[in-house]
Amino acid sequence: MARKPRIEYEGAFYHVITRGNQLQRVFKGDDDFQKYISPQKFFRV
C-alpha cells in the first residue's frame, strides 16, 4: 500500500537525510557527495 503524499507548506523548512541500507556507505567519495549536495545548495533559501 502506497504512503499518502506529504503536505507541503510554502516557505517551510524541510530536513533531508541520506541513509544507506544496513549502514552501508551512500557515497563512494567526496566527489560523489559534492555531486549530490550541489543542487541542494542551489535551491536552498
Residue 40 lies in a domain: yes
Which domain range does residue 38 map to? Answer: 17-45
Q: According to DSSP H, which parts of 2-29 are helical?
A: none
More confident residue, 20 or 43: 20
Residue 39 lies in a domain: yes
Q: Count the domains in the chain.
A: 1
Residue 22 lies in a domain: yes
DSSP assignment letter at 28: S
Residue 5 lies in a domain: no
What's the whole-model pTM score?
0.52
Task: For residues 33 and 42, give the distance between their C-alpha atoms in angstroms, rounded to a whole number.
Answer: 15
Instruction: Report whether pLDDT(45) > 60.
Output: no
Residue 9 lies in a domain: no
* Percent composition of the chain: helix, strand, coil (DSSP 3-state, to 5): 40, 0, 60
Residue 26 lies in a domain: yes
Residue 6 lies in a domain: no
What does R_g of the chain's alpha carbons equal in angstroms?
A: 14
The string of pLDDT tens digits covering residues 8-40 is: 888 888 887 888 999 898 999 999 989 888 887
